[in-house]
Amino acid sequence: MHLIVTEKNIAARRIAAILAPKKPKKVRISGVDSYQYETAQKEKTVVIGLSGHIVGIDFPKEYNNWQKVEARTLIDAEIVTTPINRKIVTALKKLGKSAERVTIATDYDREGELIGVEALDIIKAANPNLVFDRAHYSAITPKAIEKAFTELAKVDFNLADAGHSRQVIDLVWGAALTRYISLAAGRLGKMFLSVGRVQSPTLSLIVEREKEREAFIPTPYREIQLELQGEDGKSFEARHSTRRFLDLEAARKVFEKLGSFAKLKSLEKGRRTENPPTPFNTTGFINAAGSIGFSPSNAMRIAETLYTNGYISYPRTDNTVYPESLDLRAQLELFKTGRFKQEAESLLKKSELIPTRGKKETTDHPPIYPASLANPEELKEDEWKVYELVVRRFFATFAAASEWETLRLKLELSGEEFRANGARLIKAGWRWYYPYNAPDDRLLPELKEGDVLKVTHKELLDKETQPPGRYGQTRLINMMEELGLGTKATRHEIISKLNSRAYIHGNPVQPTRTSFAVMETLEKYSPTITRPEMTRKLEEDMDRIAEGKISEEKVLKESRAMLDSVFEDLEKNKAKIIDSLQAGLREDKIIGTCPDCGGELMIRRSRRGGRFIGCNNYPDCNFSLPLPRSGQIVVTEKTCEEHGLHHIKILNSKKRPWELGCPQCNFIEWQKTKEEEKAQKLKKGLPESLQAIEGLGKVSAEKFEKAGVSSVRELVKAEPFELSKLTGISINKIKKFQETACGEKEPENPEALKTTETSKTAAK
């Protein structure tokens, strides 16, 4: 029996359908789908898909107690392999016993090779004598798969070792440093502070940029802008040749002397050529997808779906040069029908197809290209947008340059020089195929030297210099690539992790105060963690493992030694690190100033674990506001004009961030809504007496009557906190009676603010 192992079930199904002489039979093995058929030579073949990694690495259970096991001991702790998907492991063992040969057909990169070797090790444990080989492919299309299984290769154990070394290094560095910093900060449980070999230098970039912004002192300047009109009635803008007047008074004097007519002193026409773009590698694709609204993680998720369904080639590649083995004309001919027929036919008229070439050329995978024809009806809207982007980029790499006609004007007005520029596209070239982010024509009227133009509007603009911009996610990925942080397959995942840990939010990315606290502490007391040199060195070592130039064992030993030296710095400064982290993290909880006493309003926790905003002058001051029960709370820099409180954002995994805004405005609005709902319920009628309310007995009714609440209407309108003080009945019970009387239920929206535990009770 020939066993073929792919990375995912969808790949197994597609590859089986391509290789089988007729439709393969789906057979469940230990609860896992497999696809079986006989070849023309009567060889039974079984194709089975994994679910990515089916085994993982971890420390033994005795290392799990953070308080009892010191973080530093994790550096040299034993690493154990544990099953992640037991059903697939069982299925592989069962199939392995009867297999004569195995073909690993996982994705061809470090991660894919490691996943394949993990599966191979499980199969070989059941059948040590079987023969095994490797199928390399970059697209799941009939042509690519048939070629891959005709030209089988050897399993690359060096490449798998490089992937395994990354797993071990990231586990040891991440676990040891995360445990140490979290314990020092007193942040355990779900609120732990993660630190990582790649994520910390990346976060440092973001925090440093924010510091530059905060330290930036704007410089005021003025601009003088005109609107001019030609003889044909068409208008255009011109600016003073001194683009920025730092002398504000000088700008005012120039502006005041300007007359009503300008003379065209010179007119300079020119041509500008715009070369076509290079083929997509992963970073280039992420940048382009970002320009049309896709986050890096979303773009890669969609690209992965398109790849496994056979529509595009493998999306994780550094290559920007099409290999000679790729039949480019045949790929273009796929599009002679369908949505891109006109573009394809235009390119196919060329006697020779000469694509552009980027600077990076590798041999593992080609650049990203469209592998098969798709129609919009076959794909979801977002999938079609990404697919079309890939198709059009592929076309553009064969197209001619685009050409622009440029026009530069110099004008004189009251002894002052003004300038204007125009441009128009005269030859579309590659932009006809790839219209994304094309600059607009800046058309000027027909003019000649000496023309007199009417000034229809003039404006003196007060401006100021701006701080350096925050990094967009795509720009951040470019920075990570330049600095050697992470890989093409992991950079977008690092950004997602920083988001999920509430270290950053938004796009462009903005660091939280927690980020400042952690990064400033590490930079001061153990800067190695925050700088790219360390992780770049380890990345280079992993490349050398893949090339067979160094052993995995040697790299892991060196990595542990590096981490041990980091802990030397941490241990020497432990007390200072604790003080620095706890002081910094306190700032991240401050929401604003208490309106009742002027104290600090902070995010706090009740005895029951609930969260609320409370005054630090409690118990002298009881002012407080409720918070949602779940999600990571991010305090943003935006403040409420009315209440002066910082706006809040709630992060929930796999959901869009909830922009809660000012917590006091939000609570007032919520109270208003509840009062309106209560008024509507009152109109519908209430129970006849207090004891008619479900759960409210004679004793409670007597307590309410002694407190002056003798009717259901009075109970519903009563303030729970005050009534609780008078009766001794808990606030929660009173509220439950009120809700039962009105027939209310818990809000279905999980993002609704809950007040089952009021902030006053929480403060107590």
Q: Please identify every residue annotated as catalytic.
A: 314
Q: Can you tell me the distance from the alpha carbon of 155 to that of 752, in angstroms, rounded to the nearest whole number? A: 54
Check: CB of residue 226 under 8 Å from CB of residue 419.
Answer: no
Strand, helix or coil at 228? strand
Strand extents, DSSP E, 561-619: 590-593, 600-605, 611-615
Angle between helices 9-19 and 296-308 (to 10 degrees): 30
Geometric angle at alpha carbon 515, from 512 and 516, rounded to 5°: 95
Neighbouring-strand partners of residue 312: 370
Strand, helix or coil at 83? strand
Burial of 289 per CB tally in 10 Å (0-12, 13-18, 19+) = buried
Which structure tokens are listed for 384? 């079609």
> Do the bridges between strand 600-605 and strand 101-105 make them parallel or antiparallel, or are there none, so unpaired?
unpaired
Neighbouring-strand partners of residue 620: none
Neighbouring-strand partners of residue 4: 47, 103
Look at the alpha carbons of 41, 43, 44, 50 in this order and tell me if their dihedral is positive or negative: negative
**Position 142: which residue type?**
P
Q: Which distant-in-sequence residues (6+ apart) come within 8 Å of 704 by Cβ?
A: 690, 710, 715, 723, 727, 729
* CB atoms closer than 10 angstroms to residue 213: 14
> Do the bridges between strand 2-6 and strand 44-49 make them parallel or antiparallel, or are there none, so unpaired?
parallel
Which structure tokens are listed for 99? 């297999």
Check: CB of residue 504 under 8 Å from CB of residue 657.
Answer: no
Check: CB of residue 657 under 8 Å from CB of residue 505.
Answer: yes
Q: What are phi and psi of 96, to 5 degrees?
A: -60, -35
Nearest to 300 by CA among 465, 45, 77, 488: 488
Nearest to 145 by CA among 295, 255, 4, 49: 4
Look at the alpha carbons of 194, 197, 203, 209 in this order and tell me if their dihedral is positive or negative: positive
Q: Can you tell me the distance from the alpha carbon of 628 to that of 747, in angstroms, rounded to the nearest whole number? A: 12
Q: Can you tell me the distance from the alpha carbon of 590 to that of 603, in angstroms, rounded to the nearest whole number? A: 7
Residue count of the chain = 764
**Position 285: which residue type?**
F
**Position 183: which residue type?**
L
Q: What are phi and psi of 419, to 5 degrees?
A: -135, 150
Check: CB of residue 239 under 8 Å from CB of residue 225.
Answer: yes
Geometric angle at alpha carbon 665, from 659 and 671, rounded to 5°: 110
Check: CB of residue 682 under 8 Å from CB of residue 743.
Answer: no
**Position 698: which residue type?**
K
Tokens 């079984």 identify what position?
Answer: 46
Neighbouring-strand partners of residue 263: 412, 452
Q: Which distant-in-sequence residues (6+ apart) come within 8 Å of 625 by Cβ?
A: 601, 612, 613, 663, 664, 667, 759
Rg, the chain, Cα only? 33
